[in-house]
Amino acid sequence: MPSHINPELESGFILLVAPARSYRVASYLDAATRLNRHLLIVSDSEYSLVSSIAEGIHVDFGQTEQALATVLDAIVDKRILAVIATDDRVVTLSSQFAQALGLPHNAESATRLTYRKDLARQQLREQGCNAPDFQVFPFREASSFAEKVEYPVVLKPLMLSGSRGVIRADNADQFIQASERIEKIVGLESADDYEKSHGLIEGFLAGEEIAIDGFVQNGRFLPLALFDKPEPLNGPCFEESFYITPSRLPQVTQQAIIEEVERCCLAYGLTHGPIHAEARITDQGVFLIEMASRTIGGQCAQLIEFVLGQKLEQIIIRMMCFEPVEFEHNNRHAGVLMIPVPRQGMLKRVEGLLEAQQVEYVSHVEIHIQPGYELVPLPEGSSYLGFIFASAPGFDETWQALRESHRKLNFVIAPVWHLQAS
């Protein structure tokens, strides 16, 4: 290569769009380094302890046209290979950047469906995909709707992810109480007036719930990992707990899940990029619960690395650039327990951590909330206490190791008293 050619310009850049506080940035930086790729970060803050964010491109995510102009000006002399979004919040903006650069992307209308539950349900119904009975209701008319619906139902905010604000109701009183809680939750979020004043009612779907990660390329869904959730998720809240892969479901059921997720991707109009979906297996078939145009969240991405032999972020970078990817499948099972918040209060200390880490097949235990912080459980909360990881020859051994490790942990939580304004 001639010495006067900048190697960064020759090989190109990956544009990573990420909120300044996104926990995914470090993983993508590591993946890019391993792949000898150059990462350029677009964030909403120049004041970050992460040098790659502080030195990157800084925009206001709420000002789309100005953000686009800023980015295009900053990369005028750079070859951009792909645009990747780390979080739900920036998925649509990332697609707009990719469109302006002439790169493969999902249409804005498609990405909107991944965070507006009511619009997604309507689209699935119109396109002939499985969808539960649903309707939108104004929070101020909760009492009226509570007398009309057929129970049990699940009430949800029109937006938000991670089971926040999702509550089951088995009668009218529970319906009204759930509606009031959800209205308070969305009232504190960045949302438009309609999203803050309306909720979604869905018929409760009985059946086993699963999660699946994959990638849509040229409109085709390519599955990466299928996760079983072995403990029932029947409410009243729907906090995630166990993810274990490979799935123990029959192959015919796994194929039905993959086919339904692909149909839903086509229905949404998603054509390029990572997908994380959740679905229920019912007597009437596979029903999509949620679908995000991003990878699996949290530390759970470690499971994909264990099963496929590559870090998830490396896989995504390579597939976004249309590079061939070969996997080294592991014959063992791997699982994670997202440690739930047992009750509200101030975390004083965590006991039994050493014993929890010494359980057979447990690889490591991570506690992410430090003593002194207030714990808020679902449906209002949005954080887990931490994660327990395990790997064993069989599915049941992996599951039991996670459960045994969790039983050895004791979270000492003190009450918190909030002063009420007079």
pLDDT attached to residue 6: 40
Q: In DSSP terms, which residues pair with 111 in a beta bridge?
A: none
Contact between 198 and 225 under an 8 Å Cβ cutoff? The reply is no
| pLDDT for res 8 | 45
Closest CA to 175 of 163, 164, 183, 186: 183
Q: Give start-end residues of each CATH 3.30.470.20 domain in the chain.
A: 206-330, 332-422
Contact 257, 227 (CB under 8 A): no
Contact (CB, 8 A) for 248 and 228: yes
**Residue 44 near residue 62 (C-beta atoms within 8 A):** no
d(CA 405, CA 356): 4
**What gap in Å lies between CA 241 and CA 229, rounded to an integer?**
8
Give the domain 7-105 fold.
Rossmann fold (3.40.50)
Q: Is domain 133-203 classified as CATH 3.40.50.720?
A: no
Residues of the chain with CATH 3.30.1490.20: 133-203
Tell me the one-letter amino acid at 371. P
Taking phi over 0 as left and psi of -120 to 50 as alpha, with beta for the rest, 285 belongs to left
Q: Where in the chain is the domain with CATH 3.40.50.20?
A: 7-105
Q: What is the pTM of this model?
A: 0.90
Question: Distance between CA 209 and CA 206 in Å, rounded?
Answer: 9
Show pLDDT as tens, one digit a residue, over the chain (422 residues).
Answer: 333 334 443 468 999 999 887 878 888 998 998 998 899 999 887 666 566 676 788 999 889 999 999 999 999 888 999 999 988 889 999 999 999 999 999 999 999 999 899 999 999 999 999 999 999 999 999 999 999 999 999 999 999 887 899 999 999 999 999 999 999 999 988 889 999 999 999 999 999 999 999 999 988 999 999 999 999 999 899 988 999 999 999 999 999 999 999 999 999 999 999 999 999 999 999 999 999 998 887 678 888 888 888 889 999 999 999 998 888 777 899 999 999 999 999 999 999 999 999 999 999 999 989 999 999 988 888 888 999 999 999 999 999 999 999 999 999 999 987 666 55
Superfamily of domain 206-330: ATP-grasp fold, B domain (3.30.470.20)
Whole-number Å distance between alpha carbons of 419 and 422: 9
Question: How many whole angstroms separate alpha carbon 80 and alpha carbon 53?
Answer: 18
CATH assignment of 332-422, among 3.40.50.300, 3.50.4.10, 3.30.470.20, 3.40.1030.10: 3.30.470.20
